[in-house]
Amino acid sequence: MNCGFVGILGLPNVGKSSLFNEILQDKISIVSPKPQTTRQSLSGICTTDDYQLIFWDAPGFVNPKKGIFDFLAKEFDRVIENSDILLIVIACDQLESLAFQQALAKAKKSKKPLAYLFTKADLPLSPYVTEFRESLDPRDSLVFDFSIKGENKKENLETILSTLAEQLPESPQPLYDPDMISLDKTRDIVAEFIREACFELLQQEIPFGLGVIIKSFKHDQHILRIEANILVEKENHKAIVIGKKGSQLKEIGKKAREQIEKFLGEKVFLGLHVAYKKNWQKDSNIMKELGYDDRRR
């Protein structure tokens, strides 16, 4: 069988995480129309009788800055470093972007095999994407089309995966247990589901200054009890996240719990608490606790 690592790269909001979840037929990577939803590079394992592909879902490319943006940029580089082949995801309606050119330059500089996947294939091509696509030489790189809304998306996806697998080395056996769907800790995935609920239910600017720390994760009789802190970096955001008489926090908890229970396949008690930590992105201890440090996989 063929085995290896595939890095999914692209700009924010081009459909990387939706593609990632569709490949795995399970929800691991969180999805939101807001940029910088994906912060950590999550992993997903797709195993068949013929191949095992381990995917890295990278954060959308950003230029390195301080705090969380520096971490996002390093995660992007880490995905390139840890992958055997790079899958560049481009939305068919994508506009010309300096950030995309910079991201593509990083991918090409790695000298690793490149494949291009055009998402939202049900939409007309923008002039920029038309020109970019015409510049690609199919003899040098793989080119795919995919739409999450396509009638034949399952068959199309199977073709994409098997073609990618052909580019990877042969192995006498899978690299990981075929029953595994991710290399990430369950606690980290749970924290992402809570953050996704915050992205969906809170005002535009709040989620970007928000982090989630899992404080407790244990089974108590027939239920999994999870306690988590939602960190905000502005004092007035705490009241907004909690809402009148706790209404907003209750909705966040309900939405996150439904996703967590679906993912884990068991009943969950989710206790959420909101804490104000001024400039938490500058606190190395908090960044480490959140997982936003220079860890290596």
216 or 290: whose pLDDT is higher?
A: 216
Q: Would you state the pLDDT for residue 32?
A: 45
Q: Is the pLDDT of residue 297 over 50?
A: no
Question: Where is average pLDDT lowest: 34-38, 76-80, 256-260?
Answer: 34-38
Q: For 190, what's the count of Cα atoms within 13 Å in the CB-facing half-sphere?
A: 26
Provide mean pLDDT across the span 23-30: 63
Q: What separation in angstroms does the CA of 117 have from each of 5, 20, 84, 164, 202?
A: 16, 12, 16, 11, 32
Residue 33 pLDDT level (bands cut at 50, 70, 90)? very low
Mean of pLDDT values over 248-252: 94
144 φ/ψ angles, rounded to the nearest 5 degrees = -125, 155
Domains and CATH numbers, the chain: 2-166 (3.40.50.300), 186-290 (3.30.300.20)
Cα–Cα distance, 83 to 44 (Å, whole number) = 13
Does the pLDDT at position 38 exceed 60? no
Integer CA distances (angstroms), 259 to 2, 170, 194, 227, in order = 32, 36, 9, 16
pLDDT of residue 228: 92
Distance CA 260, CA 124 (A): 36
State the average pLDDT over residues 268-286.
83
For 140-187, what is each residue's pLDDT tens digit? 789 999 888 777 888 889 999 999 999 999 999 999 888 888 887 788
Confidence band of 293 (pLDDT split at 50, 70, 90) = low
pTM of the model: 0.72
Q: Considering only 42-46, 185-189, 201-205, which range has the smallest mean pLDDT?
A: 201-205
Q: In the chain, pLDDT over 70 holds for what percent of residues?
A: 86
- How many angstroms separate the CA atoms of 81 and 110, rounded? 8
Residues 155, 146: Cα–Cα separation, whole Å: 11
Write out pLDDT tens, residues 95-151. Answer: 888 888 988 999 999 999 999 999 887 888 899 999 999 999 877 789 999 888 777
Rounded mean pLDDT of the chain? 83
